[in-house]
Amino acid sequence: MDSLHFLVGREQELRDLIQSSQRRDSVRAACRDVDVSLYHPEDGERPAEGLLAVCVGCRGRLECLALALRAEDPEARHGWYGGLGPADRDRIAAMLRLAKTATSLPDRALMAIRLGRDGWRINDVAQVLGCSRRTVQRYLRSVR
């Protein structure tokens, strides 16, 4: 099945989420107990199918995908969001005719945001990412 099949009929919802500056912390990520670094394999590699299967049933799948499409550098997509990799997100961006953003965030920022939305404490996020609390707070503020 086409990896983008789940988007059929939800294009406008995705577009709205990409353009929204609202945080929706109520969405519970299905990967909250997973080491999210596993969604960021080396370039060209694909996460384990079991990990991607978690995304299929995730209530926050569309929001997760929107986060990446809103914040990442279109010229340097990395990691898997909403169960979709960089090439899939290129296809979606073209399909939605998304403008290239000038406020792209580094991949580490996206991970911080992802962990923060999963309810991780700032200290824990900083420890996992190997950066300061202040940096984590800056990343989290960048999407408010």
User: Concatenated DSSP letters for 42-107?
Assistant: STT----HHHHHHHHT-TTHHHHHHHHHHHS-TTS--S-BTTB-HHHHHHHHHHHTPPPPS----H
When binding is defined by CB under 6 A, the residue of 7, 14, 17, 31 that contacts ligand SF4 is 31
**Is 136 an interacting residue with respect to ligand SF4 (CB under 6 A)?**
no
Residue 83: CB atoms within 10 A of its CB come to: 21
Mark the segment that binds ligand SF4 (CB under 6 A) among 10-18, 80-88, 104-112, 122-130. Answer: 80-88
Please, which residue, 56 or 76, has the CB nearer to ligand SF4? 56
# chain residues binding ligand SF4, by CB under 6 A = 13
Token pair for 74: 């279109």
Residues that bind ligand SF4 (CB under 6 A): 29-31, 39, 54-55, 58, 60-61, 64, 81-83
